[in-house]
């Protein structure tokens, strides 16, 4: 039987608009924990879910919000290692824009001392995606040149930061001087303005790219491909432009270029230990002060729709985080 009722931002149909609703919250079941949510990080994938086009859609109705930080209220059988009062971050996939939620304990990590809820809610997807892409998939090496498209966005900015941490020379590509300055502050060595400069020509003038990190797609993918050095690796992270590029295989052949896909959440299904190792490394870097999330907007729960609009109109840099009152 329901124990309590919470406020949540729900998707109930295909209207493309979330709705506020009161939702009954039950006790956690086998392998689950109930979390009192303090903050929820927004992601571009939330917009895709609203349109019904995300590759991993939950069944309707569902609560928006892919990643959260909060405090464990109770644990079900098999999840007792998360004692009540434990502070955690959870990649739930959905369910985050609510006052509380029940999540699979396997998707939770214990937060280190000193990590606040806003940083924690902004951490897992953005840093996890970039680290897994650059380290596990592309094998980025010190001294190589990394070209980051969408370099001021949620994942792109972490790619700049992590690429620099891994010893690469980083070329950041973003739209406008303000966004490029954010990328410079994250460690970018060179900047390309996608609004006014030719990505291909500018990157080639800098010697070309060994690794391309692309959450944008469309024409920017094509330009970056043509700026690749022999044996370059292109990471297909997402398609914020709305256009999935069509790749001509002969272009890959001539320069021995590899295109590598990366869906971070997919590793939970077939190699969760890869995610665990990556997050352990990243949290260690955070504790050591070597990485720090850039959050351009922190908004209260009542303004969550405004936060989604900031992502939709590309007004945010780094992450947008929603604080959720107890």
> If you write DSSP's letter for every residue of 42-96 in order, what string do you get?
--HHHHHHHHT--TTPPPSSEE--SEEEEEEEEE-TT-TTS-TT-EEEEE-SS--
The domains of the chain, with CATH numbers, are 4-123+293-323 (3.90.180.10), 126-265 (3.90.180.10)
pLDDT of res. 15: 66
3-class DSSP assignment, residue 250: helix
d(CA 166, CA 181): 21
Report the alpha-carbon distance of residue 171 to residue 157 in Å, rounded: 11
Q: List Cα–Cα distances, 293 to 71, 72, 182, 273, 281, in angstroms.
A: 20, 23, 12, 24, 15
**Contacts of 141 by beta carbon, 8 Å cutoff, 6+ apart:** 167, 168, 210
pLDDT of residue 325: 78
Residues 141-161 as b or e (16 or more Cβ within 10 Å = b): eeebbbbbbbbbbbbbbbbbb
Enclosing H/E stretch for 128? helix 124-131
- Angle between helical axes of 154-165 and 124-131 (0-180°, round to 10): 50
pLDDT (0 to 100) of residue 2:
46
Q: Is the pTM of this model over 0.85?
A: yes
CA distance 231 to 257: 5
pLDDT tens over the chain, length 326 residues: 345 889 999 998 766 689 999 999 889 999 999 999 999 999 999 999 998 888 889 999 999 999 999 999 999 999 999 999 999 999 999 999 999 999 999 999 999 999 999 999 999 999 999 999 999 999 999 999 999 999 999 999 999 999 999 999 999 999 999 999 999 999 999 999 999 999 999 999 999 999 999 999 999 999 999 999 999 999 999 999 999 999 989 989 999 999 999 999 999 999 999 999 999 999 999 999 999 999 999 999 999 999 999 999 999 999 999 999 75
């Amino acid at each position: 039987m329901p124990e309590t009722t919470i406020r949540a931002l729900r998707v109930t149909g295909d209207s493309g608009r979330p709705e506020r609703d009161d939702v009954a919250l039950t006790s956690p079941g086998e392998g689950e924990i109930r979390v009192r949510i303090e903050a929820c990080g927004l992601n571009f994938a939330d917009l895709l879910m609203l349109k019904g086009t995300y590759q991993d859609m939950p069944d309707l109705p569902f609560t928006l919000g892919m990643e959260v930080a909060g405090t464990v209220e109770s644990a079900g059988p098999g999840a007792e290692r998360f004692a009540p009062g434990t502070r955690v971050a959870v990649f739930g996939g959905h369910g985050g824009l609510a006052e509380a939620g029940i999540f699979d304990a396997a998707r939770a990590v214990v937060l280190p001392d000193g990590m606040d809820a806003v940083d924690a809610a902004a951490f897992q997807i953005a840093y996890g995606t970039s680290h897994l892409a650059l380290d596990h998939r592309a094998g980025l090496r010190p001294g190589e040149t990394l070209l980051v498209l969408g370099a001021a966005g949620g994942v792109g900015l972490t790619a700049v930061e992590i690429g620099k941490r891994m010893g690469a020379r980083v070329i950041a590509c973003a739209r406008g001087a303000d966004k490029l300055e954010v990328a410079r502050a994250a460690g970018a060595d060179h900047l390309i303005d996608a609004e006014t400069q030719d990505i291909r020509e500018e990157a080639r003038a800098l010697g070309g790219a060994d690794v391309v990190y692309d959450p944008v797609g469309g024409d920017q993918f094509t330009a970056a491909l043509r700026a690749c050095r022999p044996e370059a690796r292109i990471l297909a992270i997402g398609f914020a432009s709305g256009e999935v590029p069509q790749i001509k295989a002969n272009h890959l052949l001539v320069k021995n270029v590899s295109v590598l896909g990366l869906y971070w959440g997919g590793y939970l299904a077939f190699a969760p230990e890869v995610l665990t190792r990556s997050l352990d490394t990243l949290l260690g870097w955070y504790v050591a002060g070597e990485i720090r999330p850039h959050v351009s907007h922190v908004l209260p729960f009542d303004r969550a729709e405004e936060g989604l609009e900031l992502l939709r109109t590309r007004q945010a840099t780094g992450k947008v985080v929603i604080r959720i009152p107890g």
